[in-house]
Amino acid sequence: MSLLNGFWSPNRYYGFLNTFKYDEEKVVLDKYTIVESGRTRTVYNWLQYFTPEELEREFVEDGFSIEALYSDVAGTQYDPNSNEFAVIARRS
């Protein structure tokens, strides 16, 4: 089974994905194990989740300001009940 339509290798491989969620830290780990005929490798992909307020704090600390907030990267008007959001930020 080639995960992600062969993303991990141009050769035939078996891919395994294990996901670990750490709610308190707002972090998710996607652990990919890629098994090819000559090698096996593991890739750890850490993802951190933010609320709009937390992200704004991070930006402000590093000299940015948020110009716009959307519910997705297509520019849909922000809805606080959305499962995702996108921001436009600019260096202050």
pLDDT band at residue 40 under the 50/70/90 scheme: very high
14 and 33 in a common domain: yes
- Composition of the chain by helix, strand, coil, percent to 5: 15, 45, 40
Give dist(CA 86, CA 72) in Å, integer. Answer: 5
Range of the domain at 26: 3-48
Mean of the pLDDT values across residues 42-46? 98
Q: Of 12, 17, 89, nearest to 57 (Cα)? A: 89
pLDDT tops 70 at residue 1: no
Domain count, the chain: 2
84 and 68 in a common domain: yes
Give dist(CA 72, CA 88) in Å, integer. Answer: 11
Give dist(CA 37, CA 63) in Å, integer. Answer: 48
56 and 44 in a common domain: no
36 and 57 in a common domain: no
37 and 71 in a common domain: no
Amino acid at 92: S
